[in-house]
């Protein structure tokens, strides 16, 4: 489908197969025969998602291992060591990702702890792989900008960050509030470094964020939604399990040339989902990933041709109401 980068989850790979196995097999790219770039997260999102199973300390994060219940500690240094063992082209610092809404005290703690861990991550880095800092601060623009300044100026052993990310979004806030924050802070990020919005999002989210200057995104939405029968098309979201598609001989998206759309009718896809046949989720995932890749390809072309504003307007008109779709999962 033309993807040039994929993401590996550090927390889950740290637990299974484990750091020693990752080192012995030569990393994920070699192991999975993936010849292109690889992005890894730091385990920081699990600080948020496993809130009931962890404790944040200065040293790192103590987890109750969700696989066997045993305690384990992820430190900034261990996160970097694991990501280097994964073989990531782009690595992320371990951060504190607060749920929203959050108090000023919670946001300050997240920023301050993330900054201290960021310095340790820079010192721990042993390879030439890129390392990104993660800016926290919730929906408070002034706190975001203060944390951005702290990370942008941070240097350890002559090293600084190769890119900067916006973390702690799509964690409970309204999309409109996220958009408003991005408009206030993204253009303050260094122009010479990539700007990465973590855990986002819907096609609407992507275009809104691109307009503010965001360069990079990651989200489980294409595949998670596909497994649940929610498929993105040039005409809007198709809930393929709906009765209206039971006899449809149309392709999922007539404007898509992915394997799924070139070979299968909506009625067949609906049948696969209703019988819980694994091929339904596979074919749906292939389409949704192709849709996102094609969307971003068109975004890049529209920016180069200086027609992004009209591309965004036409896309939104074709997709319909964003509020009719589920909130962004990470």
pTM of the model: 0.94
Q: Does residue 85 form part of some domain?
A: yes
Whether residue 288 sits in one domain with residue 187: no
Q: Quickly count: other Cβ atoms within 10 Å of residue 140's Cβ.
A: 18
Whether residue 232 sits in one domain with residue 196: no
- The pLDDT score that the predictor gives to residue 325 is 58
pLDDT at 110 over 60: yes
What is the per-residue pLDDT across 177-224, written as a single tens digit (0 to 9) for each? 999 999 999 999 999 999 999 999 999 999 999 999 999 999 999 999
Share of the chain above pLDDT 90, in %: 88
Whether residue 163 sits in one domain with residue 42: yes
Q: Does residue 32 form part of some domain?
A: yes
Domain boundary among 179, 197, 219: 219
Whether residue 161 sits in one domain with residue 106: yes
Whether residue 265 sits in one domain with residue 145: no
Number of independent structural domains in the chain? 2
Query: What average pLDDT does this structure show over 287-304?
Result: 98
Q: Does residue 330 form part of some domain?
A: no
Q: Is 218 a catalytic residue?
A: yes
Whether residue 164 sits in one domain with residue 69: yes
- The pLDDT score that the predictor gives to residue 103 is 96
- The pLDDT score that the predictor gives to residue 16 is 94
Q: Does residue 326 form part of some domain?
A: no
Whether residue 173 sits in one domain with residue 120: yes
Q: Residue 261's domain spans which residues?
A: 223-318
The more confident residue out of 2 and 329 is 2
Whether residue 251 sits in one domain with residue 184: no
What is the per-residue pLDDT across 228-274, written as a single tens digit (0 to 9) for each? 999 999 999 999 999 999 999 999 999 999 999 999 999 999 999 99
Q: Does residue 183 form part of some domain?
A: yes
For residue 162, what is the domain's CATH number? 3.20.20.105
Q: Does residue 67 form part of some domain?
A: yes
Whether residue 77 sits in one domain with residue 163: yes
Q: Does residue 92 form part of some domain?
A: yes
Distances (CA, A) of 35 to 5, 30, 38, 216, 217: 9, 8, 9, 20, 20
Q: Does residue 20 form part of some domain?
A: yes
Contacts for 20 with CB less than 8 Å, ≥ 6 apart: none
Domain boundary among 219, 245, 278: 219
What is the per-residue pLDDT across 97-109, written as a single tens digit (0 to 9) for each? 998 999 999 999 9
Domain boundary among 219, 245, 273: 219
Whether residue 96 sits in one domain with residue 26: yes
- The pLDDT score that the predictor gives to residue 327 is 47
What is the per-residue pLDDT across 161-184, written as a single tens digit (0 to 9) for each? 999 999 999 988 999 999 999 999
Which of 95, 140, 205, 218 is an active site residue?
218
The whole-angstrom separation of Cα 177 and Cα 199 is 15
- The pLDDT score that the predictor gives to residue 328 is 45
pLDDT band, residue 323 (cuts 50/70/90): confident
According to the 3-state scheme, what is the secondary structure of the chain?
A: CCCCEEEECHHHHHHHHHHHHHHHHCCHHHHHCCCCEEEECCCHHHHHHCHHHEEECCCCEEEECCCCCCEEEECHHHHHHHHHHHCCCEEECCCCCCCCCCCHHHHHHHHHHHHHHHHHHHHHCCCCCEEEEEECCCCCHHHHHHHHHHHHHCCECCECCCEEEECCCCCCCCHHHHHHHHHHHHHHCCCCCCEEECCECCHHHHHHHHHHCCCEEECCHHHHHHHCCEEEECCEEEECCCHHHCCCCCECCCCCCCHHHHHCEHHHHHHHHHCCCHHHHHHHHHHHHHHHHHHHHHHHHHHHCCCHHHHHHHHHHHHCCHHHCCCCCC
What is the per-residue pLDDT across 11-67, written as a single tens digit (0 to 9) for each? 999 999 999 999 999 999 999 999 999 999 998 777 667 777 789 999 999 988 778
Whether residue 88 sits in one domain with residue 173: yes
- The pLDDT score that the predictor gives to residue 256 is 97
pLDDT band, residue 227 (cuts 50/70/90): very high
Which of 41, 95, 140, 253 is an active site residue?
41
Whether residue 289 sits in one domain with residue 203: no
């Amino acid at each position: 489908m033309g993807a040039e980068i994929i993401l590996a989850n550090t927390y889950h790979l740290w637990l299974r197969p484990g750091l020693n196995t990752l080192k012995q097999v030569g990393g994920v790219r070699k192991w999975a025969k993936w010849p292109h770039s690889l992005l890894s997260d730091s385990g920081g999102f699990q600080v948020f998602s496993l809130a009931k199973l962890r404790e944040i300390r200065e040293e790192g994060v103590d987890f109750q291992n969700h696989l066997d219940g045993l305690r384990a500690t992820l430190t900034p240094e261990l996160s970097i060591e694991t990501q280097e063992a994964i073989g990531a082209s782009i690595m992320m610092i371990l951060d504190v990702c607060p749920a929203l809404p959050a108090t000023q005290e919670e946001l300050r703690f997240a920023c301050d702890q993330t900054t201290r861990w960021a310095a340790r991550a820079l010192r721990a880095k042993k390879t030439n792989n890129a390392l990104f800092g993660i800016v926290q601060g919730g929906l408070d623009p002034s706190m975001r900008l203060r944390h951005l300044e702290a990370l942008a100026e941070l240097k350890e052993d002559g090293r600084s960050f190769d890119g900067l990310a916006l973390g702690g979004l799509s964690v409970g806030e309204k999309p409109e509030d996220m958009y408003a924050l991005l408009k206030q802070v993204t253009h303050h990020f260094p122009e010479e470094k990539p700007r990465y919005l973590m855990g986002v999002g819907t096609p609407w989210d992507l275009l809104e964020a691109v307009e503010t200057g965001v360069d990079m995104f990651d989200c489980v939405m294409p595949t998670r939604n596909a497994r649940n029968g929610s498929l993105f098309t040039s005409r809007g979201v198709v809930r393929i399990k709906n009765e209206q598609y039971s006899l449809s001989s149309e392709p999922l998206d007539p404007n898509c040339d992915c394997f799924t759309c070139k070979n299968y009718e909506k009625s067949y896809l609906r049948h696969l989902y209703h019988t819980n046949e694994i091929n339904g989720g596979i074919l749906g995932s292939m389409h949704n990933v192709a849709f996102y890749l094609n969307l971003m390809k068109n975004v890049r072309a529209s920016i180069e041709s200086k027609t992004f504003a009209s591309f965004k307007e036409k896309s939104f008109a074709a997709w319909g109401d964003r509020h009719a779709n589920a909130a962004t999962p990470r």
